Amino acid sequence: MRMIHTIDDMRHLVGECRQQGKTIGFVPTMGYLHEGHMSLVRRAKAECDFVVMSIFVNPLQFGPAEDYEQYPRNLDRDANLAKNAGVDAIFVPSVNEMYPQKQLVFVEVEEITNNLCGVSRPGHFRGVATVVAKLLNIVQPDKAFFGQKDAQQVRVIQQMVQDLNMPVEIVPCPIVRESDGLAMSSRNVYLSSEERLQALSIQRALLHAEELFKTGERSATVIEQQIRSIIEAEPLAEVDYIKIVDLQNLTDVSTIEDDSLLAVAVRFGGTRLIDNTILYVKEGQPCFAQ
Ligand SMILES: Nc1ncnc2c1ncn2[C@@H]1O[C@H](COP(=O)(O)OP(=O)(O)OP(=O)(O)O)[C@@H](O)[C@H]1O
Ligand SMILES: CC(C)(CO)[C@@H](O)C(=O)[O-]
Ligand code: BAL
């Protein structure tokens, strides 16, 4: 596996792959790898000849009071995991390599960033869209793989690629969970054992919501209230949001008449966790993640 630190070297490697007629799959991450990331790699390997993973904690997507400095980092561990998973190259640029001077150009995705994490984390999606646009320009993949855990992020990237005519297919991949149901996240390492135990209420609440939905409940308010009461029964839980939104435009819905996203963000201690499930109304193909 190659470890690449500069944009020039990355472009050179990608050029070689192209000359050999290989398709390129790209898995962007912020590192501290877990099974969720590995599931993206497996999908990329199944669908592409050459797999590039980026590991870059992007300062542009963190707010001033957020955890940019504390974000867990361990390049040796990540490089080993990536190599064992069959990643062909990791792209590990420095902040200076990605932002050598003051960035004056940003990608702003409107409307679908006006809800959910876009409200709690002002500027977050501008930072995400901008760095993903840069990474896509550097790696020039045929396909890029994103986790459904960050459901709003997937929608934002899909919209960016569509509106800016970027020649890449965005592949959403299902949420991977710990055996007890907690969605895998690099931030789970921040949780104390008590916080972690109480965080299981998120998955319990989502499963309860799915059951309600399956038995015919279509009131978003009823489902949201029941989820809230399950999560808030945990003394350490502080709900940021619990929302059912339209799957395409991410606006609030009151009655679930179309495919919808049930998304939650909850803090346990200082750790903000997100999770979600899709409530499909339409028969047939899921339109968001397979
Ligand atoms: N549990 C998971 N299942 C599937 N995909 C995941 C999971 N966790 C992260 N991913 C995906 O991996 C990619 C990189 O995410 P990232 O490096 O931010 O990991 P993370 O664990 O989500 O970190 P954090 O939530 O703490 O920021 C994203 O596309 C993200 O959606
Ligand atoms: C897509 C991403 C790598 C951009 O920094 C990040 O938001 C993430 O890890 O989900
Ligand atoms: N997984 C999304 C990256 C972030 O939380 O900043």
119-138 pLDDT tens trace: 999 999 999 999 999 999 99
Tens-digit pLDDT profile for residues 245-272: 999 999 999 999 999 999 999 999 999 9
pLDDT range class, residue 288, cuts 50, 70, 90? low
Domain borders along the chain are 2-173, 186-279
Q: Which residues of 65-96 are buried (b: 16+ CB within 10 A; e: fewer)?
A: eeeeeebeeeeeebbebbeebebbbbbbbeee
Which residue owns the Cα nearest ligand 3 atom 1? 150
Q: What is the pTM of this model?
A: 0.97
Residue carrying structure tokens 């986790």: 147
User: What's residue 142's pLDDT?
Assistant: 98
- The CB of 61 under 6 Å from ligand 3? The reply is yes
The strand order across the sheet containing 237-246 reads 237-246, 260-268, 271-279
By percentage, how much of the chain surpasses pLDDT 90?
Answer: 97
How do 143-147 and 24-29 pair as beta strands? parallel
Report the mean per-residue pLDDT for the chain.
96
Q: From CA 26, how far away is CA 44, in angstroms rounded? A: 7
Q: Is 270 labelled a binding residue?
A: no
Which atom of ligand 3 lies nearest, measured to the CA of 62?
Answer: 6
The arithmetic mean of pLDDT across residues 10-17, rounded, is 98
Model ipTM value:
0.98
Q: From CA 148, how far away is CA 154, in angstroms rounded? A: 7
Among all residues, which ones are annotated catalytic? Answer: 37
User: What's residue 189's pLDDT?
Assistant: 96
Ligand 2 lining (C-beta closer than 6 Å): 28-30, 58, 61, 128, 131-132, 150, 153
Tens-digit pLDDT profile for residues 41-69: 999 999 999 999 999 999 999 999 999 99
- The CB of 130 under 6 Å from ligand 1? The reply is no
Tens-digit pLDDT profile for residues 200-214: 999 999 999 999 999
User: What's residue 290's pLDDT?
Assistant: 40
Which ligand sits closest to the CA of 154?
1
Ligand 2 mean position to 227 CA, how many Å? 27
| Cβ atoms 36, 184 nearer than 8 A | yes
186-279: what CATH class? Answer: alpha beta
Angular region, 207: left φ>0, alpha ψ -120 to 50, beta rest:
alpha
pLDDT range class, residue 282, cuts 50, 70, 90? confident
Identify the residue with better confidence: 288 or 76: 76
The arithmetic mean of pLDDT across residues 185-193, rounded, is 96
Among 34, 37, 152, which residue has the most ligand 1 atoms within 8 Å of its CB, making it the best to mutate?
37
User: What's residue 286's pLDDT?
Assistant: 54
Q: From CA 241, how far away is CA 263, in angstroms rounded? A: 8
Residue among 21, 150, 121 at smallest CA distance from 63: 121
Question: Is the pLDDT at 284 greater than 90, yes or no?
Answer: no
Which atom of ligand 2 lies nearest, measured to the CA of 147?
Answer: 10
Q: Classify domain 2-173 at the CATH topology level.
A: Rossmann fold (3.40.50)
The arithmetic mean of pLDDT across residues 206-230, rounded, is 97
Q: From CA 169, how far away is CA 146, in angstroms rounded? A: 11
User: What's residue 238's pLDDT?
Assistant: 98
| Cβ atoms 45, 171 nearer than 8 A | no
Q: Is 241 labelled a binding residue?
A: no
Ligand 1 mean position to 146 CA, how many Å? 8
Q: Is 185 labelled a binding residue?
A: yes
